[in-house]
A = this chain, B = another copy of it.
Amino acid sequence: MTMIDETQVKETSATHGAYITLRDMILTGVLPAGQKLKIEQLRGLLNTGASPVREALSLLTSDMLVERIDQRGFRAAPASKANFAEILALRCTLEDLALRQSIANATPDWEEQLVLTHHHMKKASGQGTKLFEEAHKTFHMALLANSESPMLERFCAQLYDLNIRYRYLAAKSATYQKRDVSAEHEEILDAAIQRDQDRASASLLSHYRLTGDYLSRALDI
């Protein structure tokens, strides 16, 4: 009865579908930062009812991608240089912690996941950006996945996504020339596998700060 009109291949609940789609639209900037998100409009866009849309938007507030103003609807979270700087700083602190804990708890299983996700990321590097982005996130989250602190990992994942949004913002205003980061990734992977906390953390943070500096310059908000 529902026609397949999007890349949505799998059947899922309307709320979840709306959540995924809206999330993606905000991350990629299709729904610009700060924009009012009217229920009617989104309801039409996703051809679903108002309830799933409202619920998806409520869930997106968890991710700090949507702001809710009581009795006055929703809007995409605003973006600013200050916010970007804050995200970068927090990421550096939290990922440093998570990575060190992950290494401290290192297991063969975890190491294997690192190698695998890194491999997938390398393979995806040629393909469409979307696929690479996905693999890149998976690799970075795998680095932290052994911290035995689910909440810390959740915070890191949240911040990761918020950062992504700024990548898309920067891509718009400037010619987004993708730096060659594969060497940096190798370095992080190697240090992690050697269980060298200091070296792994240092290279991870440097990886983020380099990208951060670049993005910060490219942003014109």
Contacts and interface: CB of A to CB of B under 8 A. Distances in A.
7 contacts: A12-B70, A51-B51, A58-B58, A61-B62, A87-B151, A90-B151, A93-B93
Interface string A116-157: 000000000000000000000000000000000111101100
A86 to B, nearest CB: 5
Given A51-B51, A55-B58, A90-B152, 5 more contacts: A58-B58, A59-B68, A61-B62, A89-B149, A90-B149
Contact of A97 (B59, B61, B93, B151): B93
Interface in A78-135: 86-87, 89-90, 93, 97
Interface in A1-49: 12-13, 15-16
For this chain, the copies found in one complex come to 2
B55 A16 contact: no
Nearest to A12: B70
Interface of A: 12-13, 15-16, 51, 54-55, 58-59, 61-62, 64, 68, 70-71, 86-87, 89-90, 93, 97, 149-152, 154-155, 159
A147 to B, nearest CB: 10
A92 to B, nearest CB: 11
A69 to B, nearest CB: 11
A151 B59 contact: no
A151 to B, nearest CB: 6
Contact of A150 (B70, B86, B97): B86
A151 B86 contact: yes
